[in-house]
A and B are shown apart, each in its own frame.
Chain A
Amino acid sequence: DVKVTQSSRYLVKRTGEKVFLECVQDMDHENMFWYRQDPGLGLRLIYFSYDVKMKEKGDIPEGYSVSREKKERFSLILESASTNQTSMYLCASREQVGLGTEAFFGQGTRLTVV
């Protein structure tokens, strides 16, 4: 089974801190994604990566950056955390074959910024 693992289930950080959210997948997938999920707004794409060191902005990249130094690991970075970044963060991966394959998600990280 494909496994996508996020480093933390719950995080509490202070305003202004630099925050790292880590995601690792074990199926050699080319594509990896970071979403945030908020009540009433659904899932919104922050960034995705289609290869090592390659990234594309999603719908809401402001205040975030990403890093993909190895194929299996995709990190989301909050350079200076703010309270409006309190949210559920979800990582996903999928194989880059043809016109789209099954996507797999991690268990989510609930981030609270105080």
Chain B
Amino acid sequence: KQEVTQIPAALSVPEGENLVLNCSFTDSAIYNLQWFRQDPGKGLTSLLLIQSSQREQTSGRLNASLDKSSGRSTLYIAASQPGDSATYLCAAPADNYGQNFVFGPGTRLSVLP
């Protein structure tokens, strides 16, 4: 059964720093992985979907990578801003049918002005 973990659980950085959030999954036979952002009391906002064939995906200051062999994905945030403060979650497919997914517990990020 797919299990997803994220480290660190929480992170506090000064504005302007570059940072890396980590996601690990147990079943490496995945074909994609998705990163989300969640603001307090709100729903999830999709950030990036990486297909296994892509290995990397970029959107603005965000870059996500996927290494199936090591069971890891990283989300890189460049030049962090206070508006980036949120919880970041990754989600991997639950099984080979591809329609359901398993979430990590999230990393709570605070960017201090």
- The reply to whether B99 and A98 form a contact with Cβ atoms under 8 Å apart is no
Contacts of A4 in B (CB 8 A): 43
- The reply to whether B103 and A90 form a contact with Cβ atoms under 8 Å apart is no
Interface assignment of B109: CB less than 8 Å from any CB of chain A:
no
- The reply to whether A90 and B105 form a contact with Cβ atoms under 8 Å apart is no
C-alpha gap A31/B98 in the complex (Å) = 11
Known: A50-B99, A108-B41, A110-B41. Is A103-B106 also a contact (CB below 8 A)?
no
The segment out of A40-48, A65-73, A76-84 that lies at the interface is A40-48
Interface assignment of A96: CB less than 8 Å from any CB of chain B:
yes
Cβ contact of B32, chosen from A33, A99, A108, A110, cutoff 8 A? A99
Interface SS majority for chain A? strand
C-alpha gap A102/B44 in the complex (Å) = 12
Cβ contact of B105, chosen from A42, A88, A99, A110, cutoff 8 A? A42
C-alpha gap A102/B64 in the complex (Å) = 14
Interface assignment of A107: CB less than 8 Å from any CB of chain B:
yes
- The reply to whether A99 and B98 form a contact with Cβ atoms under 8 Å apart is yes
C-alpha gap A58/B99 in the complex (Å) = 12
Shortest CB distance A97–B (Å): 9
Interface SS majority for chain B? strand
Contacts of A102 in B (CB 8 A): 34, 46, 49
Interface assignment of B76: CB less than 8 Å from any CB of chain A:
no
Chain B, 50-69, contact with A by CB distance < 8 Å: what is the 0/1 string?
A: 00000000000000000000
C-alpha gap A58/B101 in the complex (Å) = 11
Cβ contact of A42, chosen from B32, B93, B104, cutoff 8 A? B104
Cβ contact of A48, chosen from B34, B36, B44, B100, cutoff 8 A? B100
Looking at B41, B44, B45, B104, which has the most chain A CB atoms within 10 Å of its CB? B44
Q: Can you offer 18 A-B residue contacts whose CB atoms are under 8 A?
A: A6-B43, A33-B100, A42-B104, A42-B105, A42-B106, A43-B103, A48-B99, A94-B99, A99-B31, A99-B32, A99-B93, A100-B32, A100-B98, A102-B46, A103-B101, A105-B43, A108-B42, A108-B43
